[in-house]
Structure 1
Amino acid sequence: MLFAHDTEVALGAACGLVNTGRQPTDELADPADLDRFVERWRFTGSRTHDAAELDAVRALRPRLERLWSVGEDEAVDIVNGLLREGGALPQLVRHDGWDYHLHATPPDAPLADRMAVEAAMAFVDVLRMGELGRLGICDAASCQDVLVDLSKNRSRRFCSTSCANRTNVTAYRARRAGSPRPQ
């Protein structure tokens, strides 16, 4: 394991959040979409379930997205800004079947602040370990989703199995089209 479990989950959630805005249609179109996202990634704490909360979460996406395209110094500035604005005060907690892990905001902080600080805390580990190279963009021709490569050999190229399969089938068909057919 490269990072602590909660760091890997937070990186996955940050990646997932960024990718909700990289699709042809916004995957966080309404509060119900946000509810499903929050449930999928198991965010805890208070919620308002309103348009303002949704807007705040959507406003977080481009800030996180920049982390996939900047150098170390700018990434540090982004992470420090997220931590400062979210009033981060790291504490060890245990809840909902999770063993001890870090929370850096109180449970009644706004959802977007909790999401921002949780992502920033995960990126602290990425930066401290010199692992910004593990952030990437899917190699599939028709996809621009971001990804976090947590593989041991740094070989992840695709955001999902679907993109990998689609790319491999396309390459196979191209090879078959160019090879002589048995008679």
Structure 2
Amino acid sequence: MRQYVDTGLVALDLANTWDEYLDEPERLPDPAALRRFCAEFGEPQEDLGEPAGGESEGQADFWTSELAAVREMRGRLRAVLACEASERTRALARFTAGLPARVAVEDVGGAPVLRLVAPDGAGTADRLAVRAVRELLDVAAVGDWVRLRLCAASPCRDAFIDRSRPGRRQFCSTRCANRAHAAASRARHRT
């Protein structure tokens, strides 16, 4: 069962691993959750040679530091997504400038395409960040950059791409839309 893949984009699904509606908003509470997130997205995981009997102390320390780095990067990614569309490009450029990324030519449908890739040996946070930037560039290339939004239902700040025909969607999900409409209705009836 998939737990983290919602939009299929690391950029959005990683940003959305902090959910204010939950009693405990952190959806990456421990290294095991980070490993599940990576596995669901097909991201390679560091192989430190797991000994018989479970995870070694060194592996636990490694994954704990990887988790801290991913959470820190998620905060920076969320800040990029929170920008207005007019400022988001500059914010993405600043975010990208700090990444250890290189350019590679990949074959996509028989045509060469220039892609950002993480260098060999990059940590989990850097690999996820480079993939997020690559996906956001793809979103922009297909014309959905201005349709990239954050949910308008407070306290939710989940990111989504508005694929509705009129392009006026405000909420990440029916759950948030229903809560926002119910709150507005209650407010109207109180006055």
TM band (smaller chain) = 0.5 to 0.7
**CA deviation after TM superposition for structure 1 residue 113, in Å:** 1.4
Does the C-alpha gap of structure 1 residues 103 and 68 become closer, same or farther in structure 2, counting only changes over 3 Å? closer
Taking structure 2 as the reference length, the TM-score comes to: 0.65
**CA deviation after TM superposition for structure 1 residue 91, in Å:** 4.2
**CA deviation after TM superposition for structure 1 residue 15, in Å:** 1.8
Counterpart check, 1:144 vs 2:157: yes
**CA RMSD between the two structures:** 3.4
Amino acid at match of 1:53: E
Taking structure 1 as the reference length, the TM-score comes to: 0.67
Provide the rounded CA distance (Å) in 1 between the counterparts of 2:171 and 2:31: 29
Gaps spanning 5+ residues in structure 1: where? 1-7, 95-99, 179-183
> Match of 2:133?
120
Provide the rounded CA distance (Å) in 1 between the counterparts of 2:131 and 2:156: 26
Q: Please state whether the residue corresponding to 2:29 is helix, strand or coil.
A: coil
Counterpart check, 1:80 vs 2:81: no
**CA deviation after TM superposition for structure 1 residue 118, in Å:** 0.9
Q: Please state whether the residue corresponding to 1:136 is helix, strand or coil.
A: strand
The structure with the largest helix share of the pair is: 1
Percent identity reads 32
Q: Deviations over 1:78-125 (max 9, x none)?
A: 25315xx2222334379xxxxx99672357532211111111112223
Aligned length in residues = 160
Q: Please state whether the residue corresponding to 2:127 is helix, strand or coil.
A: helix
Does the C-alpha gap of structure 1 residues 166 and 31 become closer, same or farther in structure 2, counting only changes over 3 Å? same
> Match of 1:45?
44
Q: Deviations over 1:162-183 (max 9, x none)?
A: 11232344456667x58xxxxx
Does the C-alpha gap of structure 1 residues 79 and 43 become closer, same or farther in structure 2, counting only changes over 3 Å? farther
8 Å contact 2:11–2:133 — kept in the other structure?
A: no
Matches within 5 A, 1:21-60: 21-23=18-20, 25-40=25-40, 42-47=41-46, 50-60=63-73
